[in-house]
Amino acid sequence: MKPKRTLVGLPVYQPGKPLEEVKRELGLSEVIKLASNENPFGCSPKVWESLKEEESFTAMYPEGLAPELREELAGHLGVAPSKLIFGNGSDEVVQMIARTFMEPGDEAVMADITFPRYKTQTVIEGGTPVEVPLKNGVHDLKGMARAITERTRIVWICNPNNPTGTIIRREELESFLAEVPEDVLVVMDEAYHEYVDDPSYPDTVSLLDRDPRLIVLRTFSKIYGLAAFRIGYGVAAEAVVTELNKVREPFNANRLAQRAALAALGDQDFVRRCFEANRDGMKQIQSQLDEWGLPHFPSQGNFLLLDTGRPAEEVFQCLLRKGVIVRSGAALGYPTHLRVTIGNEKQNERFLDELAQCLGKRRD
Ligand SMILES: Cc1ncc(COP(=O)(O)O)c(C=O)c1O
């Protein structure tokens, strides 16, 4: 057995530790998971009502192009339905983009440190990832523009950036786009778009009309709370979508996922409530960290990267033993940081209580 050359040395992706696994391994019953930026409020109750309608269709393939969801989402975003492509999570859209546009030897520019799938998919396609260090946790767009060569096919921008949560602003993006050659695609991964409350955050979907190089990625896994169903999407010029459709698996967005996403989209009240709860939870955690003097990046997502000042793995293990799963910064390139998902109020309290114990801090 000989895998393709590009897989040599490629690590297997390590996701956040699953809740069930930690319960089993540590014999704990009260475990909370704040490790994968999932929605602590689940999804809209409308999702389960609408799934009942699928009961009699389980033996049938889904419609590959997700026509109902496509129409509804296009209306919601104010774009033509032909500009949408769905994936088995936005993860799959990342894969489709690399598969469609990268030839061996091509380059893709991305931040260091950012969401790891851009790099992995580039490597699998035989491309070269060109990583430009973040500046204070923020994408260095000037540095990224300088890193573009005649071999560059794609620039990946994660906005808000995972794991720092920082954003790049409209003007910064526009001046960057003015420097990017016409044949280079710019992928804006906006998995956490719905959590952002900074008014200078760019409205990339409206930029698409005049800039056919843009691909905007979003997902139903985060604020819509449908990570289990695996459905995300890209918005791009029709010519780009046509090419992506050539590599798309025919039934990639499954029937239940399409139905669930349609129902979730229809419950914007739920989305608004989650947005507000996240903003409150973010303040709840940040104000305690500020009191302790623990630095953290200014996050616009549903997670926070904080500096414990100790080896991350040690603090991660300590929290784990107490039944709180977070993400160790060690695996993310921040050896003294933790990335914690903003939970509900009770979960945030529990996290702060246990963190206080692990770090020897007081809580008043
Ligand atoms: C920045 C970013 N992009 C994409 C994804 C993938 O999301 P999904 O495949 O669930 O849509 C994630 C998941 O954590 C993410 O953080």
Distance 10 CA to ligand 1 centre (A): 20
Give the closest residue (by CA) to ligand 1 atom 15.
Answer: 191
Below-50 pLDDT ranges, the chain: none
Residue 227 CA: nearest ligand 1 atom is 10
Check residue 192 and give its pLDDT.
98
Q: How many domains does the chain have?
A: 2
Quick: pLDDT tens for 237-296.
999 999 999 999 999 999 999 999 999 999 999 999 999 999 999 999 999 999 999 999
Residues near 50 by Cβ (< 8 Å), separated by ≥ 6? 259, 260, 262, 263
Count the Cβ atoms, other than its own, within 10 Å of residue 175.
Answer: 12
141 and 76 within one domain: yes
**Which among 267, 289, 314 is the end of a domain?**
267
DSSP E strand stretches across 182-311 = 185-189, 214-219, 232-236, 303-307
Q: For the chain, list the strands marked E by DSSP.
A: 32-33, 84-87, 107-112, 128-133, 152-158, 185-189, 214-219, 232-236, 303-307, 324-325, 327-328, 337-341
Whether 263 and 274 map to the same domain: the answer is: no
- Asked if residue 175 belongs to a domain, the reply is yes
- Give the residue numbers spanning the domain of 329: 5-43+269-359
What CATH number corresponds to the domain at position 36? 3.90.1150.10
Give residue 312's identity as a one-letter amino acid code. A
Do residue 97 and residue 157 come from a single domain?
yes
Give the per-residue pLDDT at 19: 87
Tell me the CA–centroid distance for residue 194 and ligand 1, in Å. Answer: 13
The Cα 319–Cα 71 span in angstroms is 45
Peptide bond into 160 cis (omega under 30): yes
Which pLDDT value is given to residue 2? 87
Angle among Cα 92, 98, 103 to the nearest 5 degrees reads 150
Give the pLDDT confidence score for residue 26 in this predicted structure.
Answer: 87
Which of 239, 267, 295 corresponds to the end of one domain?
267
Q: CA 138 to CA 133: how far, in whole Å? A: 9
> What are the pocket residues of ligand 1 if the criterion is a CB atom closer than 6 Å to any ligand atom?
37, 89-91, 115, 158, 162, 189, 191, 219, 221, 227, 232
In ligand 1, the atom with minimum distance to the C-alpha of 231 is 11
**What separation in Å is there between the alpha carbon of 191 and the centre of ligand 1?**
6
Residues 219 and 273 in one domain: no
Tokens linked to 346 = 């009770």
CA 220 to ligand 1: nearest atom: 11
Distance CA 338, CA 329 (A): 5
Give the position of tokens 């260091």. 112
Instruction: Kindly state whether residues 178 and 258 are assigned to the same domain.
Output: yes
Of 194, 221, 223, the residue with max ligand 1 atoms within 8 A of its CB, to mutate for a pocket test, comes to: 221
Mutate to test the pocket of ligand 1, among 115, 157, 254 (most ligand atoms within 8 A of CB): 115
Say how far apart CA 104 and CA 100 lie, in whole Å.
12
Distance CA 85, CA 40 (A): 27
Q: Are residues 273 and 169 in the same domain?
A: no
The residue among 252, 267, 282 that closes a domain is 267
Q: How far is the CA of 253 from the centre of ligand 1 (A)?
A: 15
- What is the torsional sign of CA 285, 286, 291, 295? positive
Ligand 1 centre distance from Cα of residue 44 (Å): 19
pLDDT score for 102: 98
What pLDDT is recorded for position 354? 97
Q: Same domain, yes or no, for 243 and 297?
A: no
Tell me if 10 is assigned to some domain.
yes
CA-to-CA separations, 207 to 23, 72, 202, 309, in angstroms, rounded: 46, 21, 9, 41
Most ligand 1 atoms within 8 A of CB, residue of 222, 230, 341 to mutate: 222
pLDDT, residue 48, reads: 96
Beta strands 337-341 and 107-112 are unpaired
- Mutation pick for ligand 1 pocket among 90, 120, 193, 235 (CB with most ligand atoms within 8 Å): 90
Contact 162, 190 (CB under 8 A): no
pLDDT of residue 325: 96
pLDDT of residue 31: 95
| pLDDT for 364 | 77
> Is 364 among the domain residues?
no
Residue 13: what pLDDT? Answer: 87
